Structure 1
Amino acid sequence: MVTQTMSFTELSREQHRARAIDHQRAVARFAEGFLQRRQAGKKHPVEDFLFTYYSHTPGQLSRWHPGAGVVLAEAGSSEQATWKFYTTVDDGTPAGGATVDVARFREERAEMIDFARRLLGTTAAKPAQLGCFGLHEWAMVYQSQKHGQRHDEVPLRLGAAGTDDLVESLSIKCTHFDAFRFYTPSAKPLNAQQPTRETQVQMEQPGCLHANMDLYKWAYKLTPAISSDLLLECFDLAWRIRELDMRASPYDLRAWGYEPVRIEEPSGRAEYARTQKSFSEEAQVLRGKILSALDHLEALPA
C-alpha cells in the first residue's frame, strides 16, 4: 500500500458501489440481446457489430472504472484493486483505497497514448466532410457475383446489378482505412483516395462515421485511465452510428425493423448528410473529452 502524495477526488464506498451497479445495468441493456443470441447460435446484422468487430467484450464493458485521479474509498481489499493498472492507497481506512496506477499506465501505454492523442487531435482540427453517403458499405459488396458477398444471409436491397450500378454512378470518397480495407478488389481503384494504415492520422476526418464509431475503440484502449462514463458515451454514439451505417447500406434490413436510407435518391443522400453532420458534432465533443482526459492523466503526479 502506498500513501497518496496529493488529494485526488475520492468516492465513498457507497458512492462507487452505486455507480458501478448503475453502469452494469446500462451496459446490460445493450449486451443482453447479444449474449442471448450467442448462446442460441443466432446473429443480428446490426446490433452484434460492436461486440464482434471490436475486441472489448461485454464483460469488460460491464466493469466500471472511475478514471485516473479518483480514489475508491475502502476498496483496497476488493476485486477491483487487483485489476490491471490498479494500486492500493492509504485512504485512512483499514482496507485502504484503490485507484489507477498512473505511473504504470503512462509507462506501459505510452505508445498508445501518443498515437491516440495525435490521431484524435489531428482529426478534431479538421472540417467534416459529409459527401461520402455511406458508399463504403456498397464498395464492400461491389461485383459480389465475382468476389462473393459479405453478410450473405442478408439480401441486397437493389440486387447485385443494382448495387454495382450505384457504386459506378457515384463518387466514392472514403478516408477511413479500416473501412477501405474491406472493399472488394474491384472497388478499391474506384475510391478517390487510397488510405493506408501509415496515412491514418493524416486522412481521418470528423465527418466519417467509422472514425466517430472508433471513438469507442480509443476509449476502451485507454481504460482504466478513461472513465467508464465516457466509455459508455462513446459506445452509445457508436451504437446509433451503426444503425445509420446499415440503414444506408446496400442490405435490405426491413425484416429486422430497419427502414432504408435510400442513398440512391437525392432525398436519401440529404437525409444521410444531415444525420452524419449531427453525429459528427456529437463525436467532436467526445473527441474533446478523451483529449481532456489524456491531459488530466499527464498532469497527475506519478
Structure 2
Amino acid sequence: MLLTLPRAPRLAPVSSTADLARATWAARRVAHEARVDAWIEPHLARRRRGEKHPVEDFLFTYYSYRPAQLRRWFPGTPDPAELSRRRPAVEWIRDLLAATASRPPHLGCFGLHEWAMVYRQTQEQVRHNAWPLRLGAAGTDAVVAGSRIRCSHFDAFRFYTEPARPLNLLQPTREAQHALEQPGCLHANMDLYKHAYKLAPLVPAELIADCFELARDIRTLDMRASPYDLAALGYEPVRIETPEGRVRYVEAQRAFAERAAPLRARLLAECERLLASP
C-alpha cells in the first residue's frame, strides 16, 4: 500500500527587488524621521510656548526650509521635468561648490562678523536684545574698531551695521560670491545645508540632514564666539577678544572646514549626477 504524503505548502517566492527596495526605503525613512525629530521637536515646543532660542532656532528662522520639509524623507531620484526646470539653479550651486572647494581655507576671521552686526548699536537695537553683550556696547565697539576684519561671505556681510561696513577688508556682493567664498568660512559651510535643500527632492534626504547637523554645530560655535553672553543657556564663550580665545576659535574653525569638505564633495557629486542625467 502506497503512503500518500500531504503536498508541501507552496512557499511564497523570495522577495522581489522591488519588495527589498520598499523595505530598505521604509527603514531609511523611519531612521531619518527619528533623527530629525530630535532636532525639530524642541524647536516646535518652544514655538508653541512663544519662546525664542538664539542658537537652536536659527536654522529654522534664517533658512526657508521648514521643519516638516526637513522631516520628509525621499531617496533622491532625478525627475526629468523637474530637473529641466531647475537646471540653471543646479548649475549655479555646482559652480559655487566647485569654486569654494578649489581655494585654501582662510582661518583668520575670528567670528568678527557677529561683532560687526552690533557695532555702534544700543542694547535695544541689537538682533538678540534679550541677551546682554559680554563686554557691553563700548567694549564690543572697541574690539571691532581694533580688529582686522576680513569677512568673505556676502550673507554675513549684508547684516553688518552701516558704520562697520567700511571696516571690512573685503566688500562682498552677491555677484562676487563665486569669486570670494572659501572653505574656511563658517557661513559658507553652514550654507551647505541651504544648497542641499535647494536640490530637494532630487538628492537624498539623508544628505540634507547631514548638512543640517553640520550647520547646527557651526551655529553653536558662531554664537559662543559672538559678543552675546549666553552663559545662562549653558554656552561657554569663546573669547575671541583674547589671544587664547582666537587660538581656540581657529582650531574649531579648522575642524569644521575638515568636516565640511566631504559634504561639499558629496553635494558636488550629486550636482554632476543630476546635470549628466538625460
Q: TM-score, normalised by structure 1?
A: 0.84
Instruction: Note the C-alpha offset of 1:147.
Output: 9.0
Distance 1:13 1:183 in 2: 49
Say which SS state the counterpart of residue 216 (structure 1) adopts: helix
In the alignment, structure 1 residue 66 sits paired with structure 2 residue 57: no
**Among 144, 150, 153, the residue aligned to 1:176:** 153
Corresponding residue for 2:246?
269
Greater CA radius of gyration, 1 or 2? Answer: 2
Percent identical: 55
Corresponding residue for 2:220?
243
Distance 1:41 1:106 in 2: 39
Say which SS state the counterpart of residue 285 (structure 1) adopts: helix
Task: Indicate if the aligned counterparts of 2:109 and 2:150 stay in contact, CA closer than 8 A.
Answer: yes
Corresponding residue for 1:118?
95
Task: Indicate if the aligned counterparts of 2:36 and 2:71 stay in contact, CA closer than 8 A.
Answer: yes
1:106-255 mapped onto 2 (5 Å cutoff): 106-145=83-122, 148-255=125-232
Instruction: Note the C-alpha offset of 1:297.
Output: 1.9
Distance 2:266 2:19 in 1: 21
Distance 1:248 1:192 in 2: 20
Query: RCO (CA 8 Å, sep 6+): is it higher in 1 or 2?
Result: 2
Corresponding residue for 2:8?
none
Give the residue type in structure 2 aligned to 1:62: R
Give the residue type in structure 2 aligned to 1:23: H
Deviation string for 1:81-104 (max 9, x for gaps)?
A: xxxxxxxxxxxxxxxxxxx41x11
5+ residue gaps, structure 1, are 1-7, 69-99
Greater share of strand residues, 1 or 2?
Answer: 1
In the alignment, structure 1 residue 23 sits paired with structure 2 residue 40: no
Corresponding residue for 1:104?
81
**Among 255, 266, 273, the residue aligned to 1:278:** 255
Q: TM-score, normalised by structure 2?
A: 0.91
Corresponding residue for 1:57?
66
Instruction: Note the C-alpha offset of 1:299.
Output: 3.1
Distance 2:200 2:28 in 1: 17
**CA pair 43-146 structure 1, distance change in 2 beyond 3 A:** closer
Task: Indicate if the aligned counterparts of 2:148 and 2:168 stay in contact, CA closer than 8 A.
Answer: yes
Say which SS state the counterpart of residue 47 (structure 1) adopts: coil
Corresponding residue for 1:84?
none
Instruction: Note the C-alpha offset of 1:146.
Output: 9.6
Instruction: Note the C-alpha offset of 1:14.
Output: 1.5
Say which SS state the counterpart of residue 183 (structure 2) adopts: coil
Task: Indicate if the aligned counterparts of 1:126 and 1:206 stay in contact, CA closer than 8 A.
Answer: yes
Task: Indicate if the aligned counterparts of 1:147 and 1:184 stay in contact, CA closer than 8 A.
Answer: no
Task: Indicate if the aligned counterparts of 1:138 and 1:163 stay in contact, CA closer than 8 A.
Answer: yes
Question: CA RMSD for the aligned pairs?
Answer: 1.6
Distance 1:166 1:209 in 2: 20
Distance 1:229 1:11 in 2: 19
Distance 2:172 2:160 in 1: 12
In the alignment, structure 1 residue 35 sits paired with structure 2 residue 12: no
Task: Indicate if the aligned counterparts of 2:91 and 2:271 stay in contact, CA closer than 8 A.
Answer: no
5+ residue gaps, structure 2, are 1-16
Aligned pair count reads 262
